[in-house]
Amino acid sequence: MKATIIGTGSYIPEYILTNQELSTMVETDDEWIVTRTGISERRIQKSGDVADMAVNAALKALDNAGINSEDIDLIIAATSTPDYLFPNCSSIIQKNTGAINAVCFDISAACSGFIMALSAAKAYIEAGMYKKVLIVCSEKMSGITDWKDRSTCILFGDGAGACVVESSEQEGVKSVDLHNEGMLGEVLTAKRNENIVMNGQEVFKFAVKKVPQSILQTLEAANLTTEDIDWYLFHQANARITATIAKRLKVPDEKIPMNVDKCGNTSAASVAILLDEVNRKGMLKKGDKLMLAGFGSGLTWGTMAIEWGI
Ligand code: COA
């Protein structure tokens, strides 16, 4: 059997932290932030847990897929900001969605979390082990942000995205390319009980070099070209990173939906939130080809070619 996405959901908190408000907290201004990152505002979860955002997104994905929570046999949560060391976030999602028949585990792969989780779902489904997998990515980046560090506090936001992947005769999740370079891990870290520490320029250079290479490998494995792809859904870290990758691959802007301006970088949740947005806007047609790309701390990165089947 093959794996295909049958539903999506997302949740972003109500509170909007604007560049204007940030400029009262650190020495910065709207123009600097927008020019360097493309971010105008981000959402902040003022109260509640990471799992609350996750459950909200998960219920919407189940609804969009038109299935009951009891039908789910595996929940994979991707988060770097779990509420508890244990139980894992996926078990809390199980409890609060009533997915009583699911096995639950979490993936920690920072901003590549959604791609890693989706690739795990694909592998389990293709191995015949599970049939309906709920993937939920939820992050409270505001909880590990140093609000006195202007080079990082402008970048991140909170939110959750989810999708349901089902065993199908159609090959929805076509090819996957995953990588890791732990040797370079120190360029983006958050130690337990400490905040994010980042060498922004090194992260930038890594992303614009490695992601295009990975996309070309994923395309080749799926027997597709850059032109065959209808939508490129990049990790929403920074509009300049995305623009540089697009330029290197000669991909037109119209094929690159963005929400970094409104959401900032929501780490593992970012591609999942974006996927739900474009799905709900009705932008995706059956048979459309999507390229998903995640990259971040680890260093981790991965890309995935999808054929939309809903
Ligand atoms: N407002 C105003 N000035 C700022 C600032 C801010 N928010 N943050 C940094 N600066 C200043 C610096 O102090 C520095 O000043 P100096 O020249 O007097 O020393 C100057 O701006 C340039 O800093 P630099 O770090 O070289 O800027 P940059 O062009 O590399 O942009 C990032 C910084 C973080 C926007 C950029 O490196 C980036 O986007 N990196 C990728 C980060 C990322 O996406 N991480 C997550 C990946 S998953």
pLDDT tens-place values along the chain, 310 residues long? 999 999 999 999 999 999 999 999 999 999 999 999 999 999 999 999 999 999 999 999 999 999 999 999 999 999 999 999 999 999 999 999 999 999 999 999 999 999 999 999 999 999 999 999 999 999 999 999 999 999 999 999 999 999 999 999 999 999 999 999 999 999 999 999 999 999 999 999 999 999 999 999 999 999 999 999 999 999 999 999 999 999 999 999 999 999 999 999 999 999 999 999 999 999 999 999 999 999 999 999 999 999 999 6
Dist CA 55 CA 92 (whole Å): 8
* Catalytic residue of the set 64, 235, 238, 263: 235
User: 199 with 151: CB under 8 angstroms?
Assistant: no
- Active-site residue, 265 included: yes
Residue pair 77/272 in contact (Cβ under 8 Å)? The answer is no
Kindly give the number of the ligand 1 atom that is closest to the alpha carbon of 151.
8
Residues 132, 166 contacting (CB under 8 angstroms): yes
CB atoms within 10 A of CB 105: 14
Residue whose Cα lies nearest atom 13 of ligand 1: it is 151
Peptide bond into 13 cis (omega under 30): no
Ligand 1 centroid from CA 187, angstroms:
14
